[in-house]
Amino acid sequence: MRRRDVDTAVRHAALTFGAAIALMPLLWMVSASFMAPGEASTLPLRALPRRPTLEHYATLFTRLDLARHFLNSVVVTLAATLGSLLVTSLAGYGFAKLRFRGRDAMFRALALALVVPGQVGMLPLFLLLRELGLVNSYLGAMLPFFGSVYAIFLIRQYALSVPDDLLDAARIDGAGELRIFATIVLPLIKPILVTLAAYTFMAAWNDFLWPLIILSDSAKYTLPVALASLVGEHVQDTELMMAGAVVTVLPALGVFLAIQRHYVRGIMAGSVKG
């Protein structure tokens, strides 16, 4: 064999080994979720269930009412994504293309916030939302996503490429700024909006700390909070917990596979100019 072929073979072997490690926890999760109670904690270990059962999924959706938490998560995630897109696309375009006093200074101040993790403000934010009566509300859970500085930043970078002549021509024709935004700008910046939608959706869907803090009534828990509280009571029920993990992991994986292209582009866009 030529040296090049050896290199290619070793490379593929390493890639396959890596893929096995990346997938193993997920495959075991799926397999164990179909096992009978206690089967995952029996020696010798089994790779596949002896007699596959759906009983854990039934328990989750009947006795443990996981559908409710699923719905909570869907509501919070969708509203957080849409609200964030609306607010940040307006602002990102405004900072890129509209001329007004103090614009650049304000934007630089905003960019500073990129390095401060939001968790630092969570205690006062909790007290603030408590004053506003938003503790234990869906609105409270989604609010921190609306004014994402990161999203404003990405949209501004993208909107800078919109030609000024196009906007000025529309202005001379008498179009208002909002109309220009809706009919000319939005179609042009659509790619970055799709990317950010994917990104925000994933971030909101998987978020744990903030909903854990702000949602006190278990009926309002989003999926990760509900699951974390479930594992406290059912730590011995391996197979049940694996079914719960499957229900929370697979939808996000499905969405990811569908929108992979946009999501990946967002990560790369963010890294080009941090």
Partner 1 sequence: MSTILQRRQARAAWLFVGPALALVTAFFLVPVLGGLALSLTDFDLYAIGAPGTARWVGLRNYAEALRNPVFWQAARNTLYFVLVGGPLSVAVSLAAALLLNARTVRLRGLFRTIYFAPVVTMLVSVAIVWRYLLHPRYGLINHGLEAVGLPGVDWLGDPHWAMPAIVLLSVWKNFGYNMLIFLAGLGSIPGELYEAAAIDGASAARRFRHITLPGLAPVFLFVGVTTMIGNFQLFAEPYVMTQGGPLGATRTLMLLTYEEGFRWWRMGVASALAALLLLITLAGALAQTRLKGGRW
Site for partner 1 in 54-73 (CB under 8 A): none
* Smallest separation (angstroms) from partner 1 to the CB of 128: 6
Query: Mask 202-221, x = binds partner 1 (CB under 8 A)?
Result: x--xx-xx---x--------
- Closest to partner 1 by CB, 164 vs 187, is 164
**Structure tokens of 261?**
């292209």
Among 176, 182, 183, 218, binds partner 1 (CB under 8 A): 176
In the shown chain, the binding pattern of residues 4 to 33 toward partner 1, with x for contact by CB under 8 A and - for none, equals x--xx--xx-xx--xx-xxxxxx-xx--x-
Residues 106-135 that bind partner 1 (CB under 8 A): 106, 110, 113, 115-128, 130
- How many residues are given for the chain? 274
Q: Which of 100, 105, 173, 187 contacts partner 1 by CB under 8 A?
A: 100
Quick one: 52 or 176, whose CB is closer to partner 1? 176
Q: Which of 186, 149, 145, 184 is nearest to 167 (CA)?
A: 184
Q: Does 231 bind partner 1 (CB under 8 A)?
A: yes
Query: Nearest to residue 220, comparing CAs of 130, 139, 129, 136?
Result: 136
Rounded Cα distance, 160 and 85, in Å: 17
The nearer residue to partner 1, 55 or 231, going by C-beta atoms, is 231
- Nearest distance in Å: CB 47, partner 1: 10
In the bound complex, what is the minimum distance in angstroms from residue 7's beta carbon to partner 1?
8
Minimum distance of partner 1 from residue 105's CB (angstroms): 12
Residue (52 or 121) nearer to partner 1, CB: 121
Taking the C-alpha atoms of residue 212 and residue 153, their distance in angstroms, rounded to an integer, is 28
Contacts (Cβ under 8 Å, ≥6 apart) of 164: 97
Q: How far is CA 131 from CA 1, 46, 128, 212, 214, in A?
A: 73, 53, 5, 18, 13
Give Cβ neighbours of residue 79 (< 8 Å, ≥ 6 apart): 138, 142
Out of 144, 192, 195, 196, which residue is the one contacting partner 1 (CB under 8 A)?
A: 144
What is d(CA 223, CA 208) in angstroms, rounded to the nearest whole number? 9
Question: Which residue in the block uniquely carries the two structure tokens 């994504």?
Answer: 81
Residue 105 makes contact with partner 1 by CB under 8 A: no
Residue ranges in 177-196 that form contacts with partner 1 under rule CB under 8 A: 177-178, 181
Q: Characterize 262-271 residue by residue with b for buried, 16 or more Cβ atoms within 10 angstroms of its Cβ, and e for exposed.
A: bbebbeebbe
- Contact with partner 1 (CB under 8 A) among 75, 78, 87, 184: 87
Q: Of 94, 196, 204, 215, which lies in the binding site for partner 1, with binding defined by CB under 8 A?
A: 94
154 binds partner 1 (CB under 8 A): no
Orientation angle between helical segments 186-206 and 66-97, nearest 10 degrees: 140
**Tokens (6 digits) for 217:** 């009534």
